[in-house]
A and B are shown apart, each in its own frame.
Chain A
């Protein structure tokens, strides 16, 4: 098919209902939430890898760290899944022609993804329950295979997502995949496109991200009276090593990815958007080398933000690359998606996000933070307690608004 025909095809596949706000907003939210999602994926993989290594180690520090990181891995999976809902939502809004086509053409894998994810998660929980919260200290952990299997199965799930997002960028091959050699293939049994360098880059980024977590872990735990500083220092040193080496290591697959971009990406590899992510990781390594020498410094927490920025840059680059290919080569421009402005639902989201999300999560995270740093039963200060009351009021008012407005519309 000619490029012009492919352009027509993609425009025809757009949803005629249009979008309720300016497309760039969905793109921006998609990039931000994808970066958050992949950050927690990497955190899960990195801390999961520490857990797996610790399960086979005789070093008591490694065993202890493995047990602590399993807690983080477990929560990170939940957070990665729930945050992952957002970029999945936003990609369907402006890139529905590409996303839906890529999915339908590999439908069995798409369905399999759900089963695979549930298996991987349950395998992690299986390991957790077999060994108890502190089970790694005394004896050798049981069912060590399950944590390894969990990580491997998670990687399979990651490969499926990687393939689907790669398939989006090949409209020139879609019809060939749907009707290979002239015969229809409606099975959706194949994954058609991939770039192992790209996959390796996003997976190996787990090393510096987990390293950042180890540094922050030392800072967080060191304020407690019962802190074992020798162990925490060991963990932080390991984290620094992972940060520095990992940040430089990921440049190899990144370079590989940039060198193997499809021809349709034209000049992306030399653009500022491809260089920035590399600079981000080099910057993270240098910053870690210079700023993490004082165990009490605030930089020990800031390192998580720095790691996030390093992850955000390739997330932005990935989006620009998509735009470059789909608009630059194939003439599909998300900016001209039909807009049917809906102010109420737009404001409802941003209001809920800022006010309800801010009040509730602010309260939740304050409590969680304080509990982590306290011994015994934590009793919040009057200010924190009041924050809880405010959060209850805010979320209750949201519910009242939902029903009052709903009944008003209903009786019209």
Chain B
């Protein structure tokens, strides 16, 4: 069998499939981290409510819990599923690699999800209906269960960057893939971030507290939580950067926009400034201010940070063996996984791809542009757009009116052997190099509309030829029949 496991490609021209995953993931991280941090805060407040016999703490927990139930639990749980769905359509082999190594871990996380979902309803709706001690117990369980969902997913996310231990490549197994430097440091970083978010979003609820003394107390509590978590989180981010492979830092330096560093620094300063201001002057804490702050962190802090994490692992998308274009580019003896590159080098990408239609299996003058399109969609479309919009448009990388010969030379010299640090190796037969070069040159010089027109012409010509062949066959059969008569 000379096929490899490549699925059809979903190409999203407006923003790019990667960014669709990014939007959903960033929103999910905001919602889920806030929920987990809030769960720990609820456990603490519910404990204090029991110990100090304070009804106002439980009232705060109820209001914050209801807010989370409607916003972060609805949107958070659905965008969590949404990450699966979006990665399924954008990177099926990437998510497949994670699923097949960590299915039981995800299933374990699911047990905690169920506890979490039932727990949040109980925490919100049982305030005043059970005694404080029982509420405290429910809250403590809920807090630990929520944190368990985080510790599990962080191990899986760490694997995406790099398997826990180098020995995993030789020996395989869940434990070696899951636990490593990156796992624990990333966990510490995310734990701090989740507490920062809890303090910021909690401000929306604190803003509505009528009792000024209680408002001041809660503002102070959340303020200290926020400041300490933000400072520790910043330190953890630096530690995290030291824990990733050197090449990842190199990729980050090359790939990330200049505004990345200043953006993170400004958000840190703004966040601490926000907490200090609201602690000194609780009257400034209004829900709009807290809500705006949450959005600032989302857009200017979380988005660049997640983009950095995504970019750093290129050219790989999972476990340093699945390329971003879904091809397996490395042997993993511990899992009995073989690189797919030798087979592609032997038969070409068109023959190796299970979804290549019959008429594109071999490149010829009548299908060159369309074969080039198929190869581009397979090898490039995950990270590059072929139109003016979308993710890293290809035309930006080539000079105007580039010749097909120059394009072919570039593909042959840089892409096929994998000479660009953050791009996969992309084996192609010489005929395939010519096809993709023809397509990319056409796109670059004449635009997408003209290229699509050229593809339509290829299809029309092929169909006409098929019709002519069929007609010829009929004529020849007819004359043979007449001759026989």
Contacts and interface: CB of A to CB of B under 8 A. Distances in A.
A and B bound? Answer: yes
Interface of A: 8-9, 11-21, 26, 29, 75, 78-79, 81-86, 88-90, 92-93, 96-97, 99-101, 103-105, 107, 110-111, 113-114, 117-118, 121-122, 125, 174-175, 178-179, 181-184, 186-188, 338, 340, 342, 344-346, 348-349, 352-353, 356-357, 360-361, 363-365, 367-368, 371, 374, 377-380, 385, 388-389, 391-392, 395-396, 398-399, 402, 405-406, 409-410, 412
Contacts of A84: 81
Nearest to B12: A107
B81 A81 contact: yes
A348 B89 contact: no
B335 A175 contact: no
Given A114-B24, A356-B115, 13 more contacts: A13-B7, A79-B117, A88-B84, A110-B88, A186-B9, A186-B377, A340-B172, A344-B174, A371-B130, A377-B129, A388-B137, A392-B140, A406-B183
Interface string B134-156: 10011011001101100100000
B88 A104 contact: yes
18 contacts: A11-B1, A16-B335, A17-B335, A84-B81, A89-B106, A103-B85, A103-B88, A104-B10, A104-B89, A183-B459, A342-B104, A344-B175, A348-B105, A353-B108, A368-B122, A377-B128, A402-B151, A406-B179
Given A81-B81, A114-B24, A409 B165 contact: yes
A18 B335 contact: yes
Given A184-B377, A186-B10, A338 B336 contact: yes
A356 B115 CA distance: 9
Nearest to B328: A16
Interface stretch (B93-101, B269-277, B287-295): B93-101
B97 to A, nearest CB: 6
A17 B97 CA distance: 7
Interface string B113-127: 111111101100010
Contacts of A405: 175, 179
Top-9 shortest CB links A-B: A107-B10, A12-B3, A107-B89, A114-B82, A345-B104, A186-B11, A17-B100, A100-B92, A388-B137
Given A92-B96, A110-B88, A410 B130 contact: no
Contacts of B459: 181-183
A110 B106 contact: no
Q: Give the contact-size bracket for chain B.
A: 35 or more
A101 B8 contact: yes
A388 B126 CA distance: 15
A183 B456 contact: yes
Interface stretch (B72-80, B213-221, B471-479): B72-80
B114 A82 contact: yes
Contacts of B80: 85
A93 B288 CA distance: 45
B44 interface: no
Nearest to A402: B151
A178 B8 contact: yes
Q: Classify the secondary structure of B's interface with A.
A: helix
B470 to A, nearest CB: 15
B8 A186 contact: yes
Nearest to A121: B74
A23 to B, nearest CB: 11
Contacts of A368: 118, 122, 126
B241 interface: no
Contacts of A82: 77, 110, 113-114, 116-117
B174 A395 contact: no
A3 to B, nearest CB: 14
B141 A395 contact: yes
Given A184-B374, A361-B115, A388-B137, A78 B105 contact: no
A378 B129 contact: yes
Nearest to A189: B10
Nearest to B358: A1
Contacts of A78: 73-74, 77, 117, 121
Given A188-B89, A361-B115, A364-B115, A16 B5 contact: yes
A402 B336 CA distance: 27
B74 A118 contact: yes
Interface string B178-216: 111101100000000000000000000000000000000
Contacts of A399: 144, 147-148, 151
B128 A114 contact: no
Contacts of A12: 1, 3-5, 354
Tell me which of B77, B181, B338 has the highest count of chain A C-beta atoms within 10 A of its own C-beta.
B77
Nearest to B374: A184
Given A114-B78, A367-B126, A409-B179, A348 B381 contact: no
B122 A367 contact: yes
A21 B104 contact: yes
Contacts of B381: 186
A105 B10 CA distance: 7
A93 B122 contact: no
B138 A364 contact: yes
A81 B456 CA distance: 44
B339 to A, nearest CB: 10
A172 to B, nearest CB: 13
A101 B148 contact: no
B300 interface: no
B145 A395 contact: yes
Contact of A360 (B101, B115, B128, B370): B115
Contacts of A183: 370, 455-456, 459
Nearest to B95: A92
Contacts of A374: 129
Contacts of A15: 5, 93, 96-97, 99-100
B336 A16 contact: yes
B463 interface: yes
B355 A349 contact: no
Given A11-B1, A17-B101, A395-B145, A364 B89 contact: no
B373 interface: yes
B180 A81 contact: no
A374 B130 CA distance: 10
Interface in B441-478: 455-456, 459, 462-463
Contact of B174 (A18, A20, A107): A20
A20 to B, nearest CB: 6
A40 to B, nearest CB: 11
